[in-house]
């Protein structure tokens, strides 16, 4: 049985006061239970969030890291080693906003993935197709192609520890959620792809769905056989809504 994971990606949101309020309310809303819960604040709010959440069961991750794990002359970057030493447990890798807006290629995503693992944290690898790609019937080709690059470079066993998040680009921040059937179809294909390489790893790999997940649609998505939780954007900024999503995952 896979333990669900609900992850809140706060993206480039929050102020010192809003993060203080959100974390205080999250500690009340998200109690220890049968679901792993993580939040991904902006880098400048990591310290605050970690202190505020230290007494509870919510772990903290970063939204990005440098391709390198050590230290050195890379102005503006934060390395995998620095994030791990700081106490991060997870790092998002390959989010579509970084692939499409920041131009991160599959090669960059693959190097970051390796750095996160080598630094002792778990990557949350984001995969997803654009609306145009879906309309032209290329969803599985795109998503499995993104996954294939990671498996070619690092093998499939890494997914005993790494998490995969399927996030259709057209569903992110748009209010257009994939139907449970649409999401399950892609999740089943991802798990099938992993199983072709290693059935035991496929069985334990956690596959999250992301894209306009809310309290009102979370339960039906999480009820799907191959959906093991969610990567939540906008709704993770509201403690009561995020708490309800965690409860829908089984908490
Ligand atoms: O991109 C997402 C999480 O990483 C999803 O964002 P929304 O939940 O706001 O659609």
To the question of whether residue 173 is assigned a binding role by annotation, the answer is yes
For the CA of 171, the closest atom of ligand 1 is: 10
Cα of 239 from ligand 1 centre, angstroms: 15
Q: For residue 93, what are its two tokens? A: 């890798």
Give the H or E element holding residue 132. helix 131-135
CATH of the domain at 156: 3.20.20.70
Q: Tens digits of per-residue pLDDT, 131-160?
A: 999 999 999 999 999 999 999 999 999 999
* Ligand 1 pocket: which of 11, 92, 131 to mutate (most atoms within 8 A of CB): 11
User: Which residue, among 122, 123, 119, 126, has the nearest Cα to 68 in the 3D structure?
Assistant: 119
* pLDDT band of 237, cuts 50, 70, 90: very high
DSSP class per residue in 136-205: TT-HHHHHHHHHHHHHHHH-SGGGGT-EEEE--GGGTTTS-PPPHHHHHHHHHHHHHHHHHH-HHHHHH-
Q: How far apart are CA 118 and CA 146, in angstroms?
A: 20
High-pLDDT (> 70) share of the chain, %:
100
Burial class (CB in 10 A: 0-12, 13-18, 19+), 223: exposed
Q: Is 95 an active-site residue?
A: yes
* pLDDT band of 69, cuts 50, 70, 90: confident
Least confident span in 69-73, 146-150, 153-157, 242-246: 69-73
Q: Tens digits of per-residue pLDDT, 18-36?
A: 999 999 999 999 988 999 9
High-pLDDT (> 90) share of the chain, %:
94
For residue 55, pLDDT beyond 90: no
Q: Is the CB of 167 under 6 A from ligand 1?
A: yes
Rounded-to-5 percentages of helix, strand, coil across the chain: 50, 15, 35
Q: How far apart are CA 116 and CA 119, in angstroms?
A: 5
Task: Kindly list the distances between the CA atom of residue 17 and the CA atoms of 13, 24, 48, 49, 65, in Å, as whole numbers in the listed order.
Answer: 12, 11, 10, 11, 25
Tell me which residue range forms the domain holding 25. 5-248
Question: What does pTM read for this prediction?
Answer: 0.97
For residue 175, pLDDT beyond 90: no
To the question of whether residue 212 is assigned a binding role by annotation, the answer is yes
List 45, 67, 95, 97, catalytic entry? 95
Q: Is the CB of 52 under 6 A from ligand 1?
A: no
Q: For residue 191, what are its two tokens? A: 């798990």
* pLDDT band of 251, cuts 50, 70, 90: low
Nearest residue (CA) to ligand 1, atom 7: 233
Q: Tens digits of per-residue pLDDT, 197-225?
A: 999 999 999 999 999 999 999 999 999 99
Burial class (CB in 10 A: 0-12, 13-18, 19+), 146: buried
User: Which residue, among 217, 171, 238, has the nearest Cα to 13 in the 3D structure?
Assistant: 238
Q: Is the CB of 143 under 6 A from ligand 1?
A: no
* Ligand 1 pocket: which of 233, 237, 242 to mutate (most atoms within 8 A of CB): 233
Domain count, the chain: 1
For the CA of 95, the closest atom of ligand 1 is: 4
Q: Is the CB of 232 under 6 A from ligand 1?
A: yes
Nearest residue (CA) to ligand 1, atom 3: 233
Q: Is the CB of 158 under 6 A from ligand 1?
A: no
């Amino acid at each position: 049985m896979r333990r669900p994971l609900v992850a809140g990606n706060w993206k480039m949101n929050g102020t010192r006061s809003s993060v203080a309020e959100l974390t205080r309310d999250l500690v009340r809303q998200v109690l220890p239970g049968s679901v792993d819960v993580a939040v991904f604040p902006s880098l400048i709010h990591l310290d605050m969030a970690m202190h505020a959440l230290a007494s509870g069961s919510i772990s903290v991750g970063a939204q990005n890291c440098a391709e390198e794990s050590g230290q050195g002359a890379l102005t503006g970057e934060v390395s995998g080693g620095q994030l791990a030493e700081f106490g991060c447990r997870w790092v998002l890798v390959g989010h579509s906003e970084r692939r499409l807006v920041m131009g991160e290629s599959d090669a960059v995503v693959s190097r970051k993935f390796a750095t996160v693992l080598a630094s002792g944290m778990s990557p949350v690898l984001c995969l997803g197709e654009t609306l145009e790609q879906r309309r032209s019937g290329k969803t599985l080709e795109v998503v499995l192609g993104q996954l294939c690059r990671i498996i070619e470079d690092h093998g499939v066993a890494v997914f005993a520890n790494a998490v995969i998040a399927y996030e259709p680009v057209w569903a992110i921040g748009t209010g257009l959620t994939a139907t449970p059937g649409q999401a399950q179809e892609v999740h089943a294909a991802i798990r099938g792809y992993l199983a072709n390489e290693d059935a035991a790893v496929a069985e334990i790999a956690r596959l999250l769905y992301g894209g306009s997940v809310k309290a009102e649609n979370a339960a039906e998505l999480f009820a799907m056989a191959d959906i093991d939780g969610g990567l939540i954007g906008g709704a993770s900024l509201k403690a009561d809504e995020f708490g309800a999503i965690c409860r829908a995952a089984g908490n």
